[in-house]
């Protein structure tokens, strides 16, 4: 298996971003408990989950495969409250109402492990939402896009119409900050740029 790393995530957004920069990878999606610990700060929570996913992926590597494992997790925080993935319509609409007309933080932790080393990075972005009318929030929920998304929206999709301003990493808000990811790949001496095409 000629790859640069294993990705411990089934997220299509993370897969797309890795493909975009030329990383060769194989998916080893991992399900872990994503409940925050009591009084756990959003920064700590994001890094912890990214590391736990990477460690779980490491344990699931096929025999004889030694490529490192990349884990990532994105959380949305309003003040110090975490907004996870909405379980139903009521929760999804409540999240959009809470985000409407104000700023929130999007924190994405990234971890890379290989059995000998573990390293992490954290991306923090600030997103300002314009006011969202209730009918608009309902219509957005009915598209199905908010399901499975931290904070109940996808900035790279239809939810992008709510974002008035972004300070930080657009790819971090999507789920995989490419600056921090590059930093980790460089630390582990993964030359993904050697796969870039020439003359395009």
Contact criterion met (CB below 8 Å) for 111 and 50 = yes
What CATH number labels 5-195? 3.90.950.10
3 state SS for 109-140: EEEEECCCCEEEEEEEEEEEECCCCHHHHHHH
Per-residue pLDDT of 105-159, as tens digits, reads 999 999 999 999 999 999 999 999 999 999 999 999 999 999 989 999 999 999 9
The pLDDT assigned to 200 comes to 60
The pLDDT assigned to 38 comes to 86
pLDDT at 14 over 80: yes
With vertex at residue 179, the alpha carbon angle to CA 81 and CA 62, rounded to the nearest 5 degrees, is 90
**Catalytically annotated residues:** 73
Angle between helices 89-99 and 134-142 (to 10 degrees): 130
Does residue 37 or residue 182 have the better pLDDT?
A: 182
Q: Please name the helix (run of DSSP H) or strand (run of DSSP E) that holds residue 27, with its range, or none.
A: strand 25-27
| pTM listed for this prediction | 0.93
Angle between helices 12-20 and 178-187 (to 10 degrees): 70
pLDDT bracket for residue 53 (50, 70, 90): very high
**Residue-range domain boundaries for the chain:** 5-195
Cα(176)–Cα(45) distance, rounded to whole angstroms? 16
Record the tokens describing residue 142, joined without a space.
Answer: 């009915």
């Amino acid at each position: 298996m000629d790859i640069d790393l294993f990705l411990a995530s089934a997220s299509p957004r993370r897969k797309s971003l890795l493909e975009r920069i030329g990383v060769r990878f194989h998916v080893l999606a991992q399900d872990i408990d994503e409940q925050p610990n009591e009084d756990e700060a959003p920064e700590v929570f994001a890094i912890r989950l990214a590391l736990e996913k990477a460690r779980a992926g490491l344990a699931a590597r096929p025999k004889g495969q030694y490529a490192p494992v990349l884990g990532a997790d994105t959380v949305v925080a309003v003040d110090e409250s975490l907004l996870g993935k909405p379980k139903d319509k009521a929760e999804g609409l409540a999240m959009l109402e809470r985000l409407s007309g104000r700023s929130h933080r999007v924190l994405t932790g990234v971890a890379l492990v290989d059995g000998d080393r573990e390293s992490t990075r954290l991306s923090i972005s600030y997103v300002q939402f314009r006011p969202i009318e209730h009918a608009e929030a309902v219509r957005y929920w009915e598209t199905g896009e908010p399901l499975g998304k931290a904070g109940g929206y996808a900035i790279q999709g239809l939810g992008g119409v709510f974002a008035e301003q972004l300070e930080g990493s657009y790819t971090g808000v999507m789920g995989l900050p490419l600056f921090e990811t590059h930093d980790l790949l460089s630390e582990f001496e993964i030359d993904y740029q050697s796969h870039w095409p020439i003359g395009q």
